[in-house]
Amino acid sequence: MLIDTHTHLDDKQFDKDRDEVIARAFANGVKKIINVGAGLGSSRRSVELAEKYENIFAAVGFHPHYFNKYGESSFGKIAELRELARHKKVIAVGEIGLDYFSHNEKKIGEKEKESQKAGFISQLDLARKLNLPVIIHCRDAYDDCYEIMQKYVDLKFVFHCYGGNMEFTKKLLWYKNIHFSFTGNITYAKAGSEIIEAIKKIPMNKIILETDCPYLAPTPMRGKRNEPLLVRYIGKKIAELKNFSEDDASRITTKNASRFFGFVL
C-alpha cells in the first residue's frame, strides 16, 4: 500500500488519459493520492478531482512563482483560495514557499523575493487559521524560508521534493513537526551526493513519498511523463538507502503520510 502525496494530475499532459492514469495507480497498490495546487486555477482543478474520486484529496495554494508572475494581483486572489481551502477534501495548504531559482536566466530581484515572502506568510496564516498542514516548496531560498517558518512552529510542514544540504537538514531535524518528501530524482542521484546522504540521516518516521507527476519520473522511466503508479520506485529507493525491505518502507511511509495528513487508512 502506497500514498502519492504530491501530484499534478490536473496538468494538461494528462488531458487525454487522466482517468486511465488514475485507474492504473489504484489498481496497482496506490491507495490515496493528493493533488496539489500551484495557483488559483490548479487549486480549483485539484478540488474538482477530489470531488470526482473518493481516494483523491486536494491541497490548495499559490506556488512562489505565482507571485512573480501576477505580482500584486496575486494577493487579491487569496480570498478565493481561502474559500477553496475550506472544502471538506482539502487536507493541506500547498504548495507554498520560496523559490529564488530563475528558469529564464533572469535573476530573481529583491522586489520579487519580498512578494514571495509576503505571499508565503499570508498562506501560512491561512493554514494556521484552518489548522491544516503545509506543503513547502523551497529552492535556493532555504535561509529565508527557515526564518519565516520560525514564527509558525505550531504548524506541520512537509518539504516537498526535498533537496536541502546536510547542514539545513540537521536544523530541520530538531523539529518534530517537520517531514521530508522525496520524488523520482533520488533514483538517479549519484552515490554520496548531498541528497542521498540527507536521506540516510533523516529518520524513517519523517519520510513520505511523492511523484510530483508529470515531472521527475524515476528510473527506469526517467525523461518520460511521470504518474502515480511510479511512486513505488521512489519507495524502493528509500528502502535501499535506509536498509529496509520494500514492504516495510511502504508500510512506514504510508503510515507517516496518514498521520501527517490525517488520513484514515
The mean pLDDT value of the chain amounts to 96
Q: Which pLDDT value is given to residue 112?
A: 95
Give 7-38 pLDDT, tens digit per residue. 999 999 999 999 999 999 999 999 999 999 99
Average pLDDT over residues 103-120: 90
Average pLDDT over residues 226-233: 98
Q: Which pLDDT value is given to residue 45?
A: 98
Q: Is domain 41-160 given the CATH code 3.20.20.140 in the classification? A: yes
CATH class belonging to 1-36+174-265: alpha beta
pLDDT at 264 over 90: no
Give 61-100 pLDDT, tens digit per residue. 999 999 998 888 999 999 999 999 999 999 999 999 999 9
Q: Which pLDDT value is given to residue 259?
A: 97
Output the 3-class SS for the chain: CEEEEEECCCCHHHCCCHHHHHHHHHCCCEEEEEEECCCHHHHHHHHHHHHHCCCEEEEECCCHHHHHHHHHHHHHHHHHHHHHHCCCCEEEEEEEEEECCCCCCCCCCHHHHHHHHHHHHHHHHHHHHHCCCEEEEEECCHHHHHHHHHHHCCCCEEECCCCCCHHHHHHHCCCCCEEEEECHHHHCCCCCCHHHHHHHHCCHHHEEECCCECCCCCCCCCCCCCCHHHHHHHHHHHHHHHCCCHHHHHHHHHHHHHHHHCCCC
pLDDT at 104 over 80: no
- pTM beyond 0.75: yes
Q: Where are the domains of the chain?
A: 1-36+174-265, 41-160
Are 1-36+174-265 and 41-160 in the same CATH fold? yes
